Structure 1
């Protein structure tokens, strides 16, 4: 059994298969899940687990070289927007509609119980060397 890092066997298994430039999504509980994209649903009640909790755990375990968020997060969810800006090396923004379209290319979506608006991010994998 693992001593640290992500203990969820499904998430850990998916992460082990990711390569450079592959993308995953951390989503609030309202983001539509595209057909054919695997989704690990961590939500167990409204607001739990939070987007920021899962973001922090994922960033501790995954090399991220770029990220995409919806432009709307900056005006509609300042707390999440600030954390994204402070935590992600190369953060870009697209409209929420474009964001949802980009999720169709993800290798995995991790659904949280988050209920604040636009608490979603696409993370692009980097390499460890």
Structure 2
């Protein structure tokens, strides 16, 4: 007989990334112990109060900040935004966007349009090759 399999675990940083939260803002108990796949699924299905609050008010990790601002992670770096932002800080930036945010949003929109154009061209070529 084979020995019982141990549960699959991940580092707290990986779990925080999958949950979309900023690891240093999580409780110490979450930061110190590996998280099993079962625990992660439980956190997703029935989030505790600390997770709900973090997702609502932040501070948010870079990918979440970039998404909420409608720019890329590279755009945050170009703008020099290195610290995590709260939901309130993100809202303030969106209400009165600084020049860098307007520029990065335009760049991001151009990149998305170009990606869509390339995807459409590839799809057309695939459909033509199939005929």
The answer to whether the superposition gives a TM-score over 0.5 is no
* TM-score calculated relative to the size of structure 1: 0.20
* TM-score calculated relative to the size of structure 2: 0.20
Looking at secondary structure, tell me which structure has more helix per residue: 2
Looking at secondary structure, tell me which structure has more strand per residue: 1
> Larger radius of gyration, structure 1 or 2?
2
